[in-house]
């Protein structure tokens, strides 16, 4: 009974907060859809999400707070969680998801991701970690269309594995595998011995370094309100063991100690900064540890930095000093 009352209060509060965005649709829109789970609004620019409160058509649509986008991995509106944002080695190259294959990321000496563009007539092949001729790599198709003369009588790399490839024998599609320890070199159209450091050219797809696991976060927390680690003005409510229901606080309040409050939350680092077109692109703010500081960029998570040895962060100068 207590859970039911809590949910009614929660839903009524959200309805009041976003009343102008409420829309009802046919029951079919909510059939086979998890209740209370936010979903991206189809066709939107990632700034709207929708929630089904019943299978009979109680469907509501909401706008994300300013500067936030809906992230399907966290089921919430959040800052940018770029999967290529976590560089591990200098010179590492990474694919930019959903790009047109002409752009790629290279990690600089500070392990920051820098965007580059392939030369004209080239595409970035993530398995080989380099730009290759557009006659050797197909950006749009996972499997070649052997009825297209462009693909006929040639071998094409399998985008999931370097040692596997496709061959169009005329208009007939054939799947083949290179001998162990070898991979397809599309330029020479032959299997070659791998010279990569790890003995293979396969590059794992990068994943965001998430601070929440929406599949397990509610286990043992049913009926509880949990803070959103990416946005200090929002929270998750655990409807059941597997259903976290995300919501922002009303009136720009902060969430801390299971309550929405006017007192600024200790978890807020970058959310209250005001960004102007003519202003700086990044701002350094203090860290509880004086030897460290945070770098804030609009729409990005705070980035933790460490001052050089013998220096500490000066909050007035906004820099490390001795």
Whether residue 36 sits in one domain with residue 69: yes
Question: What's the number of CA atoms in the CB half-sphere (13 Å) around residue 143?
Answer: 8
Taking all residues of the chain, what is their mean pLDDT, rounded to a whole number? 78
Whether residues 67 and 89 fall in one domain: no
Provide the token pair at 237. 């409510």
In this structure, the answer to whether residues 216 and 289 fall within a common structural domain is: no
Quote the number of domains for the chain. 3
pLDDT score for 56:
77
- Is a pLDDT exceeding 60 seen at residue 23? no
CA–CA dist 130, 123 (Å, integer): 8
Lookup result for tokens 């290179």? 178
CA 309 to chain centroid: 33
- Residue 309: pLDDT band by 50, 70, 90 thresholds? confident
> Do residue 122 and residue 73 come from a single domain?
no
Query: Does a structural domain hold residue 204?
Result: no
Looking at residue 83, what is its pLDDT? 57
Q: Are residues 162 and 22 in the same domain?
A: no
Same domain, 72 and 91: no
**H-helix or E-strand spanning residue 17:** helix 2-17
- Residue pair 265/254 in contact (Cβ under 8 Å)? The answer is yes
Res 223: pLDDT:
93
CB-count exposure of residue 278 (10 Å: 0-12, 13-18, 19+): exposed
Instruction: Tell me the per-residue pLDDT of 138-153, one tens digit each, with 9 for 90 and over.
Output: 887 778 888 988 888 9
Q: Using pLDDT thresholds of 50, 70 and 90, give the confidence band for residue 99.
A: low
Q: Is there a single domain that holds both residue 70 and residue 110?
A: no
Band the pLDDT of 220: cuts 50, 70, 90.
very high
- Pairwise CA distance, residues 181 & 170, whole Å: 28
**pLDDT tens, 273-306?**
877 766 677 888 888 889 998 888 777 778 888 8
Give the phi and the psi of residue 11 in degrees, each rounded to 5: -65, -40
Question: Which two tokens mark 81?
Answer: 């969680």
Asked if 99 and 59 sit in the same domain, the reply is: no
Confidence of residue 41 (pLDDT cuts 50, 70, 90): confident
């Amino acid at each position: 009974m207590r859970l039911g009352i809590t949910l009614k209060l929660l839903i009524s509060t959200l309805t009041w907060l976003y009343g102008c965005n409420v829309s009802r649709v046919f029951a079919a829109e909510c059939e086979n859809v998890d209740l209370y789970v936010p979903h991206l609004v189809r066709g939107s620019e990632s700034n709207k999400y929708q929630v089904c409160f019943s299978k009979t058509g109680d469907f509501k649509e909401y706008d994300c707070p300013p500067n936030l986008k809906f992230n399907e991995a966290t089921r919430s509106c959040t800052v940018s969680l770029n999967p290529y944002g976590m560089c591990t080695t200098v010179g590492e190259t990474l694919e930019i998801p959903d790009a047109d294959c002409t752009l790629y990321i290279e990690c600089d000496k500070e392990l920051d991701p820098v965007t580059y563009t392939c030369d004209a007539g080239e595409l970035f092949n993530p398995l080989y970690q380099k730009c290759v001729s557009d006659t050797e790599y197909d950006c749009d198709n996972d499997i070649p269309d052997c009825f297209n003369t462009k693909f006929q009588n040639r071998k094409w790399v399998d985008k999931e594995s370097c040692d596997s490839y496709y061959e169009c024998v005329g208009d007939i599609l054939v799947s083949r595998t290179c001998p162990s320890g070898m991979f397809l070199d599309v330029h020479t159209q032959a299997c070659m011995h791998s010279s990569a450091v790890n003995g293979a050219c396969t590059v794992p797809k990068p994943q965001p370094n998430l601070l929440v696991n929406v599949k397990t976060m509610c286990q043992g927390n049913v009926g509880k309100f949990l803070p959103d680690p990416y946005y200090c003005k929002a929270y998750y409510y655990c409807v059941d063991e597997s259903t976290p229901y995300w919501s922002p606080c009303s009136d720009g309040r902060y969430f801390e100690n299971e309550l929405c409050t006017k007192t600024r939350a200790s978890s807020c680092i970058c959310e209250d900064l005001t960004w102007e077109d003519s202003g700086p692109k990044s701002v350094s703010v203090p860290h509880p540890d004086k030897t460290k500081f945070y770098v804030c960029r609009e729409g990005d998570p705070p980035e933790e930095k460490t001052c050089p040895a013998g220096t500490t962060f000066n909050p007035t100068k906004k820099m490390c000093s001795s």
